[in-house]
Amino acid sequence: MPSANEPIKVGIIDSGISLTSESLLSVGCCVNWRDGHIVLSNACLRDKLGHGTALTNILCTASLSIKLLATKVFFDRLLCSPEQIAAALDWQVTQGARLVNMSFGLRIDRPVLADACARAIAAGVILVAASPARGESVYPASYPGVIRATGDARCQPGEISYLHSAQADFGGFVRSEHSQIAGASVGCAYVTRAITPILYEQPEAQCGDVLKALIAEAKYCGIERKVGS
């Protein structure tokens, strides 16, 4: 575990990173699926899709120093195999990630991904994954020990909500700056960002400690109620 006030190693598994966030990059990796096999490489992490760019920009505006660990699994579109995500998460653990953002969700439970999440949690890594505010559950957000995060229209940047709903644990600001990316994936990144100062001050904090701290600082409690509902 890092000492208090040391930079937090924050991992992101997505479509790459932006030029502006490269200054905070500690190490990165690309995870491809070729001919039925996982291939890890040091290929270019530059983001073609804009999704990873929007999210890393959110993470890198945390009010403290972080070391960014980036794993690129989305290349030409926002689709990849569960094996790629599992390999990316295993790589994040080997690089010493303390906190990992996964702003995506799979509709079907995949054992290879469940096992990777279990290994990361056992290693003391805090996992945050996107979950829709309504609708069916997704993975990895629905795995035990993973913090489920979504977007909440009530929240402004720097604010989070404690939803405690069937779909999500916490919500965050729904829009990214200078980007059309919005929704649960962005809210997830804002919740991850809210965790960084907790780990910065309490480097040995476990997931339960993080949850208590997030609940204590939540601006809103309960799901958003529509007028007239």
- Domain of 201, CATH number, reads 3.40.50.200
Q: Identify the bridge partners of residue 39 per DSSP, sorted by sequence position.
A: 32
In a domain? residue 79: yes
What pLDDT was estimated at residue 229? 41
Count: domains in the chain: 1
**What range defines the domain where residue 36 resides?**
8-221
* Residue 1 domain flag: no
Q: Which residue has the higher pLDDT, 47 or 185?
A: 185
Provide the pLDDT for residue 226.
57
Question: Worst-scoring range by mean pLDDT, 5-9, 158-162, 178-182, 199-203?
Answer: 178-182
> For residue 228, what pLDDT band results from cuts at 50, 70 and 90?
very low
pLDDT above 80 (res 43): no
Look at strands 220-221 and 126-130 and give their pairing: unpaired
In a domain? residue 140: yes
Place of tokens 């890890």: 40
User: pLDDT tier at 224 (50, 70, 90 boundaries)?
Assistant: confident
Confidence of residue 181 (pLDDT cuts 50, 70, 90): confident
Residue 174 belongs to a domain: yes
pLDDT in tens, 199-217: 999 999 999 999 999 999 9
Question: How far from chain centre, in Å, is Cα 223?
Answer: 21
Q: What is the distance between the terminal CA atoms of the chain, rounded to a whole angstrom?
A: 47
**pLDDT at residue 6 in the model:** 79
Is residue 226 a part of any domain in this protein?
no
* SS3 label, residue 94: helix
Write b or e for each residue in 74-84: b if 16 or more Cβ atoms lie within 10 A of its Cβ, otherwise e.
bbeeeebbbbb
Strand runs (DSSP E) across the chain, as ranges?
Answer: 8-14, 25-34, 37-41, 66-72, 99-102, 126-130, 147-151, 160-162, 170-172, 220-221
pLDDT of res. 216: 96
Tell me, yes or no, whether 55 lies in a domain: yes
For the chain, how big is the Rg over CA atoms in Å? 16
Portion of the chain with pLDDT greater than 70, in percent: 94
On whether residue 2 sits in a domain, the answer given is no
Q: Tell me the C-alpha distance between 136 and 222, whole Å.
A: 19
Q: Does residue 227 have a pLDDT over 70?
A: no
Would you say residue 13 lies in a domain?
A: yes
Query: Tokens in use for 44?
Result: 């270019």
Instruction: Give me the mean pLDDT over the 36-62 stretch.
Output: 87
